[in-house]
Amino acid sequence: MLTERMERLIREMPKGENHIHIEGSIPTRTALRLAKRNKIVLPFDTETGMLDYIHTHCGNLDMFMVCDRLINSVCLHEEDYYDVVYDLGEDAKRQNIIYQELHLDYPLNEERGIPMDVVMRGYEAGRKAVLKDFGVELVFIAGIDRSQPPEKCTAFVKNLEPYLDMVDGIGMDCEEISYPCILHKEAYEIAGKMGLFKTAHAGEEGDCRNIWDALNVLGCQRIDHGVRAIDDPALVRELADRKILLAMCTRSNRRLFPTPADHAIKPLMAQGVICSVSSDDPPYVGDLLWEYQGLVEDLGFDEDTLITLARNSLEYSIKGQHHLPAFDEWVRNWKSQSTD
Binding site for ligand ADE (CB under 6 A): 21, 24, 61, 173-174, 201, 204, 252, 280-281
Beta-bridge partners for 103: 21, 141
Instruction: Kindly identify the residues of this chain, within the stretch 53-92, that bind Zn ion according to CB under 5 A.
Output: none
When CB distances are held under 5 to 8 angstroms depending on the partner's kind, the choice from Zn ion, ligand ADE, none that residue 204 binds is ligand ADE
Q: Which is nearer to ligand ADE, 60 or 216 (CB)?
A: 60
State the number of binding residues for Zn ion (CB under 5 A): 1
Query: Closest CB to Zn ion belongs to which residue?
Result: 280
* Residue 174, binding choice from Zn ion, ligand ADE, none, Cβ under 5 to 8 Å by partner class: ligand ADE
Task: Answer yes or no whether residue 17 interacts with Zn ion by CB under 5 A.
Answer: no
In whole angstroms, how close is the CB of 337 to ligand ADE at the nearest point?
Answer: 36
Applying CB under 5 A, which part among 7-15, 119-127, 133-141, 274-282 lies near Zn ion? 274-282
CB of 294 to Zn ion, least distance (A): 16
> In this structure, which amino acid lies at residue 50?
M
Alpha carbon separation from 192 to 121, 158, 277, 302 (Å, rounded) = 24, 11, 25, 38
- What single string gives the DSSP state of each residue in 115-129? -HHHHHHHHHHHHHH
Choose between 61 and 309: whose C-beta lies nearer to ligand ADE. 61
- Selection from ligand ADE, Zn ion, none that 91 binds (CB < 5 to 8 A by kind) is none
CA atoms within 13 A on the CB side of 251: 23
What is the C-alpha separation between 8 and 31, in angstroms, rounded? 30
Q: Does 280 bind Zn ion (CB under 5 A)?
A: yes
Q: Is the Cβ of residue 145 or residue 280 nearer to Zn ion in the bound state?
A: 280
Asked if 172 and 200 count as a contact pair (C-beta separation under 8 A), the reply is yes
Q: Which residue stretches of the chain are H helix?
A: 4-12, 28-38, 47-57, 61-72, 78-94, 107-110, 116-134, 150-158, 185-193, 208-216, 233-241, 250-256, 265-270, 282-285, 288-299, 303-315, 324-336
Among 165, 206, 159, 156, residue whose Cα is nearest residue 182: 206
Print the binding letters for residues 232-271 with Zn ion: x by CB under 5 A, - otherwise: ----------------------------------------
| 145 Rama class: left (phi>0) / alpha (psi -120 to 50) / beta | beta
In the bound state with ligand ADE, the residue whose beta carbon lies nearer, of 14 and 109, is 109
From the list Zn ion, ligand ADE, none, pick the one residue 273 interacts with, judged by a Cβ distance below 5 to 8 Å according to partner type.
none
Residue 20 CB, nearest approach to Zn ion (Å):
8
Active-site amino acid positions = 204
Closest-CA residue to 42 (of 72, 85, 7, 6) = 72
Nearer to Zn ion, 87 or 205 (CB): 205
Cβ neighbors of 150 (< 8 A, separation 6 or more) are: 183, 184, 186, 187
Residue numbers at the binding site for Zn ion (CB under 5 A): 280
